[in-house]
Chain A
Amino acid sequence: MLLSVDHVTRYFYDQPVRAVVQSHRLRPSQFDGQKLIRWDVTVSDGQKGGGFRDGAGDWVQGWTVQGPVAEILVQVSGQVETTDLAGVLRGHKESVPPHCYLRGTHPTTADAALAALGEGLTPDSDALATAHAISARISDAIAYRPGATEAHTTAAEALALGEGVCQDHAHALIAVARSLGLPARYVSGYLLAGDDGSPHEASHAWAEVHVRGLGWVGFDPANRCCPDERYIRIGSGLDAQNAALIRGIARGRGEESLEVSVTVQARQISSQTQQ
Chain B
Amino acid sequence: MTDYFNEMYQGGKVREPYARLQGWMQSMPAELRHMKQAEAEALFRRIGITFAVYGEGGDPDRLIPFDMFPRVFSGAEWARLERGIKQRARALNAFLVDVYGRGEIVRAGRIPARLVYLNDAYEKAVVGFVPSKGVYSHIVGIDLVRTGPEDFFVLEDNCRTPSGVSYMLENREIMMRMFPDLFRENRIEPVDSYPEILRRTLASVAPQKCDREPTVVILTPGHYNSAYYEHSFLADMMGVELVEGQDLFVEGEFVFMRTTEGPRRVDVIYRRIDDDFIDPLCFRPDSMLGVPGLMDVYRSGGVSICSAPGAGVADDKAVYTYVPEMIRFYLGEEPILKNVPTWQCGKADDLKYVLAHLADLVVKEVHGSGGYGMLVGPKATAEQVEAFRARIIADPDNYIAQPTLALSTTPTFVEEGVAPRHVDLRPYCLVGERVELVPGGLTRVALTEGSLVVNSSQGGGVKDTWVLAE
On A, residues with C-beta under 8 Å from B are 19, 21-23, 47-56, 60-62, 64, 66, 95-97, 99-100, 102-103, 238, 241, 247-249, 251
Contacts and interface: CB of A to CB of B under 8 A. Distances in A.
Interface stretch (B5-13, B298-306, B461-469): B298-306
Contacts of B297: 49-50, 62
A50 B114 contact: no
19 contacts: A19-B249, A49-B253, A49-B300, A50-B297, A54-B128, A54-B299, A55-B124, A55-B128, A60-B296, A62-B253, A64-B250, A96-B128, A97-B127, A99-B116, A100-B122, A102-B114, A102-B117, A102-B118, A249-B281
A161 to B, nearest CB: 25
A22 B252 CA distance: 11
A262 B252 CA distance: 27
Nearest to B129: A55
B103 interface: yes
A47 B256 CA distance: 15
Contacts of B127: 54-56, 95-97, 100
Interface string B108-150: 0000011011100010111111000000000000000000000
A50 B296 contact: yes
A71 to B, nearest CB: 19
Interface in B276-329: 280-282, 285, 292-293, 295-297, 299-302
A35 B146 CA distance: 62
B106 A97 contact: yes
A95 B117 CA distance: 12
B293 A21 contact: yes
A99 B113 contact: yes
Size class of the contact patch on chain B:
35 or more
B199 to A, nearest CB: 26
B249 A50 contact: no
B293 to A, nearest CB: 4
B239 interface: no
B251 interface: yes
B252 A49 contact: yes
A49 B117 contact: no
Contacts of B292: 21, 249, 251
A235 B395 CA distance: 38
B101 interface: yes
B252 A52 contact: no
A47 B252 CA distance: 5
Interface string B238-253: 0000000000011111
B251 A47 contact: yes
A51 B102 CA distance: 22
Given A23-B293, A47-B251, A99 B300 contact: no
Given A21-B292, A53-B128, A251-B249, 19 more contacts: A22-B293, A23-B282, A47-B251, A48-B253, A49-B302, A51-B300, A52-B129, A54-B127, A55-B128, A61-B296, A62-B253, A62-B296, A64-B251, A64-B293, A97-B113, A97-B117, A100-B122, A102-B117, A238-B124
B281 A66 contact: no
A95 B250 CA distance: 27
B124, B125, B280, B299 pick with most chain A CB within 10 angstroms: B124
B251 A50 contact: no
Nearest to B280: A249
B101 to A, nearest CB: 7
A55 B251 contact: no
A56 B124 contact: yes
B245 to A, nearest CB: 11
B103 A60 contact: no
Contact of B125 (A54, A62, A248): A54
B124 A52 contact: no
A61, A95, A102 pick with most chain B CB within 10 angstroms: A95
A50 B281 contact: no
Given A62-B250, A100-B122, A52 B300 contact: yes
